[in-house]
Structure 1
Amino acid sequence: MARLTRAQQQERTRAAVLDAAGREFAEHGYAGAKIDRIAERAEMTRGAVYSNFPTKRALYLAVLVGLVERSTGAGETAGTPRTTGAPGAPGRTPRPSPASVAGSLGSFARAWLERLPLSGDSPADGHLRLRSLTGVLDDEPSRTALAQVARLEALLLALALESHPPRNARRVRLAELALTLLNGSAGLAETAPGFGDPFDVVRACGHLAGIDLADAWNPPHLPYVSPARPCDDPWIPTAGVSDRITGRRADLGDDGVIAVLGAGRLAAAEEAVRGALPDDRVTVVAVTGDPAEIGRLVRLRIDDLTACLRRVFAADAWPSLRVVLDDHAQAAAALGLPGVGDATEAAVRVRDGRIVARAEGRGAAHAVATAGAPDVTRSGGSGA
């Protein structure tokens, strides 16, 4: 029998820890789970668990990320095959996009509500199905990151909804309202099991399309943002990075805007999208100073939302915004940003394989996106 390499042994150890942790969290919930019991289940030492996952929270988030990855292919939760729990649950095969905004919101709600616990679930197992973060995010950085990634989730849903006519209608506020309703339903399912009817929630989400929200957008800081700096820097894109939306390799050498956003600044993606030229390729490179916890939180939320989008919308209606998770800051370093963290906001404009504009600090994504026309970039104007 061939001897396992060090990397293979590490991967086997991580898999065993994750499997044991999944069973522990499903039985005892996050608060009641014990690292000692997880180590015992995995037939390892406590130190072996911590050598792979520095905290219980990091381990719990890793379990949830794995749950989402498995459920996109086999409808599994906590390692156990399950049937879907929401009404009219869509299948896994590609399908045409619904014909209207209302139809898309209803279909998205059905896909999203599959996470609701089944009648036979224990409370702890139901929490896993819900991707529950109750009692998990107990500090300001993690709560800030959750609020920011929720804004990015709404932007992604909005861009998919904007595939319906009229194409010039922004639907970010509509997407935020729909996600507020769905997250509220999940919260009630966790704290008051059995309350409410998922069919009613689905119908209500469809009816949201008829509300005139105006989608006004005028952040007060934008008039004070400094223009992007024109430059002419070489650009060697980082190879092997993937877009979390499509799952395909992302070519960061494409013309357009690249915004490097820390987990505490992800809402600035909307500034880049709204300010960009119609033909611009906009890419968000998400970075963090805490890949084990904050990085996994961002991955969990984006992958979970993207799985729902893929099941509702045809590929040509998926959000055009690319999202790259840069846990090790490789892409950021290639752009000349070696020191990044959760408060990072920086952006560049790429044209013909060169970096032609840069900006850092609050409003950087907007500054670079609006510095789109060649004459504006050369003169250093904001283009606003």
Structure 2
Amino acid sequence: MALYELAVLGHPTDAQIQELQRLVAEVQTQFGFDAVEIALHICPDSFRPNRRSCAAALFIGGAAGAEVDITAVVDPKIVPVLPVVSSEKQVPVEVPPSLRAFNCIFLDQAPMGRVFSALLECLGLLPRQRRVFLSYRRAESTAVAVQLFAELSARQFDVFLDTHSISAGADFQEQLWHQLSDVDVLLMLDTPEYFKSRWTDAEYGRALAKGIGVLRVQWPDSTPSPVTSTASRAELLAEEFLADGQLSNEAVQRICRQLEAVRSQSHALRTMSLIESVRNAIEQIEGQVNGVGPGRLMQVTLRNGRQLSVQPTLGIPTAVTLQETLLRAGHDNCAVVYNHYGMMKSWQEHLEWLAQRVGGSRWIRQSDAAWDFAGWDAT
């Protein structure tokens, strides 16, 4: 099964298909993927990807695009669909009515490379979205941790390693949990003494609490802890260790391939869980979700008819998150929904300060979504 699934729907030209195939091949090389890790489906009769895969679709408009029943091919309430049209004035002709609520991408203003970048963002494949937390005991596995840090960075991952990623003078504990809250996967170097450190023990437990995927790299002389039974596993052999304490290249490549699979599944499941959480909150207060568009921006209607754009966000939201949400929405009735657990108190205060200065937009904690959406017009 492919880790990432893309579909091109509508009326793509041969030249557009060839360009997209070229861009996919470029990404495969950039990230060190095998050929099967990204599947590109061209005009399928049906696109119903497995929910454990990261998936997104392009709808490229054409002369009869407005007549296409897009819901017969894909469920836009589950899979983000990016409408692409030749120009703004052609939207009524080239785009099905069900997709017109989303901001379209206009080919007379944006090259196909920019369209493809928007597609990669939906898959969580932009380098800034590929975040990994390396959890290890310094006394047992520093050499391997540094080796994996270098290899994963070369594969376009943003890797958190405590000795490289926390500046001097920072509150170490608070920074640690903040960084952990911003990743897709915990890479756990399961050495014999791993769970005897309060830090690594808490890192593993809090990753589970946030729903973050875990890849456990098991040392040859380590007895697996019963608490790690749900984690994915990569076993190391004694002969894979070199004289300097590092791993053989073959072992490193195997770990990186497994990590990509765990990271992809974790990103897909956590994104779907967050979207479903927002959907349940909206339906709980008798509203409805109309669809999921570029950047997984959700278009919703509240019980009183109020139209909102809602951006579910994994990890730590920033001012850039809010800016991109406002630009995608095209109006100021929008909200960013996020999970606040583990975030630094100072960062939460920063978000509140920002909300007071950007009218019409709000930060909403996932746990408070139904309550806050129900009172949208009362505050």
Report 1 or 2 for greater relative contact order, CA contacts < 8 Å, sequence distance ≥ 6: 1
User: What TM-score, normalized by structure 2, do the two folds share?
Assistant: 0.19
